[in-house]
């Protein structure tokens, strides 16, 4: 009777294979949290984007925020940013083009 690999061994092998491919998925190192303002007068979406501390990471985070805001025909404007030696957290607000222009963006 042939031996069958145990389920645990198969699961471990599958997890190891996924870990090796993690860097191959575009923007897999960028996390986005979205939220709305609780203020009635401020009808805007906010996005908190965590990304690698690099020029490329910043560029990709901005591109992701632009993509998210463009769905509502708005512009992503960076409002806050903080970084460690490895990661940055950048907050973007989606503004109407005329509001972004009035704010000097």
Q: What tens digit of pLDDT does each residue of 55-94 get?
A: 999 999 999 999 999 988 999 999 999 999 999 999 999 9
- Does position 13 have pLDDT exceeding 50, yes or no? no
101: helix, strand or coil: helix
Q: How do the domains of the chain map onto residue ranges?
A: 26-102
Question: Nearest 5°: phi and psi at 20?
Answer: -70, -25
pTM of the predicted protein model: 0.66
82 to each of 30, 51, 53, 59, 89, how far by Cα in Å?
Answer: 15, 11, 10, 15, 5
Q: Which helix (H) or strand (E) holds 87?
A: strand 87-95
- The distance of Cα 23 from the centroid of its chain, to the nearest Å, equals 15
The neighbour count for residue 9, using CB atoms within 10 Å, is 10
């Amino acid at each position: 009777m042939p031996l069958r690999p145990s389920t645990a061994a198969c699961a471990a092998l599958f997890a190891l294979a996924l870990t090796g491919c993690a860097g191959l998925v575009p923007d897999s190192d960028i996390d986005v949290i979205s939220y709305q303002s609780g203020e009635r007068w401020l009808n805007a979406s906010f996005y908190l984007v965590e990304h690698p501390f690099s020029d490329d990471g910043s560029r990709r985070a901005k591109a992701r925020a632009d993509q998210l805001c463009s769905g509502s025909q708005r512009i992503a404007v960076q409002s806050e940013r903080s970084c460690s030696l490895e990661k940055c957290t950048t907050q973007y607000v989606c503004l109407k083009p005329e509001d972004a222009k009035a704010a000097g963006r």
